[in-house]
Amino acid sequence: MSELAPSSDPAAADAGSVPSPFWQAAVGAAVVLVAAGMAFGALQIPGDAGYGGVGPNFLPWVCAAVLGLCGVLLIREALTGGYRQAADPGGAPRAALGPFAWVTAGLLLNAALIVDLGFILGCTLCYALAVQGLRRANGQTGRLAPRALAVDVLTGLAISAPVFWLFTQFLAINLPGLTNTGWL
């Protein structure tokens, strides 16, 4: 365990902001814990075999297993010398809270309003707010210009409407709609 302790080697100080092997192993352990949580959740899903002998808990088990394998490989990499090919992550020294707030607002408003607004309008709102946040993170100007907002809303509609129709009309999966017709 001593090889995971932070080093006092001057060369390690020049390594930039790449985390020490201890923190790299901690990330791997966290990934394994998330995989264990997913596996526990998969246990709660009934395993009655459906079409082709595959039940509804198959995909959660596959995801948990693959994530667990990735966590174990991350831990192995950290214990055998750390992420040797890791580049300096770069980026801003501090988080941009304004753009984060725009994206978060889009996600939370979509979750809160999707039943009332329907899938298409809820996802369009989410898209428009998230794009505003990403534009702010990129430092773009003219973010709230009427033309930019119209393009964002139309793009959100162009993405969400075909997804809604694909799921409701072709796959017969119920998504919340604005009307009871199944087309909006």
Which runs of consecutive H residues, i.e. helices, occur in the chain? 10-13, 21-43, 58-79, 97-117, 119-138, 146-165
> Which of the pair, 121 or 1, is modelled with greater confidence?
121
CA 111 vs CA 57, 128, 130, 175: distances in Å: 24, 15, 14, 13
Q: Which segment of 77-91, 122-136, 150-164 scores lowest on mean pLDDT?
A: 77-91
* pLDDT over 50 at 6, yes or no: no
- 41-50 mean pLDDT: 78
The pLDDT, as a whole number, for residue 64 is 95
Please say if the pLDDT value at position 63 is more than 70. yes
Q: What is the rounded average pLDDT of the residues 43-59? A: 74
Ordered DSSP codes for 18-52: PPPHHHHHHHHHHHHHHHHHHHHHHHTS-----GG
pTM > 0.85: no
pLDDT over 90 percentage in the chain = 36
- Residue bearing tokens 């801003």: 92
CA 74 to chain centre: 19
Q: Which residue has the higher pLDDT, 110 or 17?
A: 110
Strands (E), 114-179: none
